[in-house]
């Protein structure tokens, strides 16, 4: 069974599930949390407080456990239960980190264990056994881009900009082909914006905002905060986007002379502010937060000559 997972710093995403990249560990069954996973004698539940940014997600077991959650969620959609599930895993890494971390990330799931070892755990008191027999890793921007390849392949120059939790990733397509010599991963994701806004609102207005509050304000869904707070949040988001555009310009990306494809949850949140800069002439927003996941799956089948 092929399972695609986007290991975001803010959210974990699969084809059918999105959940926060936050984990609670206990020696006993947690008294909270809808879903409980037991692995190697420890109990885990997903929580809303995300794990602090990790460039190398193989540094400890937390993202492996989150991957087991992702696999368990996807196995729920199968009509029949198996004694052992053979899992093919497709996942991604930021383009800048891809060459340096891809082998280590693949080992994290597969090669560090011998080829025949079965991984056993419990999910909501039901036993699950899996064998991860194949791992495909893909640059994250590339995964999202292939889901709209028919729309972008005829442009001479296309910049793919993926705004996630901690990183902003970009890469170039020229005449329908990926050019990894023009790619980078900037530590300019929306978590940085959240932290700046939360700190500013606390000191200026004596209000405590959550990241979800900020999302609601930016998307026009908030009805709780006064105009001062809302205006502050909107202005800081606008400033954040201007800084992003200037940073990209410094790296030689002229967004007025190419098709710009925005993807990632941060892009959905900030599209309106990019348009206000006047520096985007032609753009496409991929508003599917699971676009990378679907692209990883497409690339896996392309590699293996199926589907």
Q: Model confidence over 115-152: pLDDT tens digits? A: 568 999 999 999 999 999 999 999 888 999 999 999 99
Q: Quote the domain boundaries for residue 171.
A: 151-190+219-287
If one counts every other C-beta atom within 10 angstroms of the C-beta of residue 149, the result is: 12
What are the tens digits of pLDDT across the range 75-92? 999 988 899 999 999 999
Question: Tokens in use for 182?
Answer: 């023009």
Distance, in Å, from the CA atom of 90 to the CA atom of 295, rounded to the nearest integer, reads 9
Query: 15 and 111: one domain?
Result: yes
Phi and psi of 39, rounded to 5°? -145, 130
Q: What is the mean pLDDT of the chain?
A: 92
In a domain, 167, yes or no: yes
Query: Which among 76, 103, 88 is positioned nearest to 301, based on CA atoms?
Result: 88
Query: Rounded to two decimals, what is the model's pTM?
Result: 0.89
Which residue, 151, 186, 184, 180, is CA-closest to 167? 186
* Domains contained in the chain, number: 2
Per-residue confidence (pLDDT) for residue 223, from 0 to 100: 76
CA quadruple 285, 291, 296, 297: dihedral sign: negative
Same domain, 68 and 95: yes
CATH number at residue 251: 3.30.420.40
Same domain? For 282 and 299 the reply is no
Provide the sign of the torsion angle of the four alpha carbons 93, 98, 101, 105, taken in this order.
positive
Residues 129 and 159 in one domain: no
Whether 166 and 258 map to the same domain: the answer is yes
């Amino acid at each position: 069974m092929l399972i695609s997972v986007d290991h975001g710093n803010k959210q974990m995403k699969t084809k059918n599930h999105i959940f926060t990249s936050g984990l609670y560990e206990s020696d006993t069954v947690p008294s909270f949390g809808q879903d409980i996973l037991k692995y190697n004698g420890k109990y885990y539940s997903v929580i809303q407080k995300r794990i602090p940014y990790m460039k190398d997600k193989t540094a400890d077991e937390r993202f492996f456990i989150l991957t087991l959650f992702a696999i368990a969620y996807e196995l729920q959609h199968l009509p029949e239960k198996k004694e052992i599930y053979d899992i093919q895993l497709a996942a991604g890494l930021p383009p800048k980190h891809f060459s340096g971390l891809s082998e280590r990330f693949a080992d994290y799931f597969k090669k560090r264990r011998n080829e025949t070892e079965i991984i056993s755990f419990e999910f909501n008191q039901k036993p699950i056994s899996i064998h991860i027999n194949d791992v495909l890793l893909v640059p994250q921007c590339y995964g999202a881009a292939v889901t709209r390849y028919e729309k972008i392949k005829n442009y001479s120059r296309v910049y793919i900009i993926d705004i996630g939790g901690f990183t902003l990733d970009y890469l170039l397509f020229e005449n329908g082909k990926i050019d990894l010599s023009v790619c980078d991963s900037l530590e300019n994701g929306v978590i940085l914006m959240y932290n700046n806004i939360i700190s500013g609102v606390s000191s200026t207005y004596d209000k405590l905002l959550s990241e979800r509050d900020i999302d609601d304000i930016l998307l026009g869904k908030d009805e709780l905060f006064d105009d001062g707070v809302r205006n502050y949040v909107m202005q800081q988001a606008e400033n954040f986007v201007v800084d992003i555009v200037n940073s990209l310009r410094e790296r030689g990306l002229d967004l007025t002379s190419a098709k710009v494809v925005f993807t990632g949850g941060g892009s959905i949140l900030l599209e309106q502010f990019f348009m206000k800069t006047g520096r985007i002439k032609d753009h496409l927003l991929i508003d599917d937060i699971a676009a990378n996941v679907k692209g990883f799956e497409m690339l896996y089948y392309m590699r293996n000559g199926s589907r």
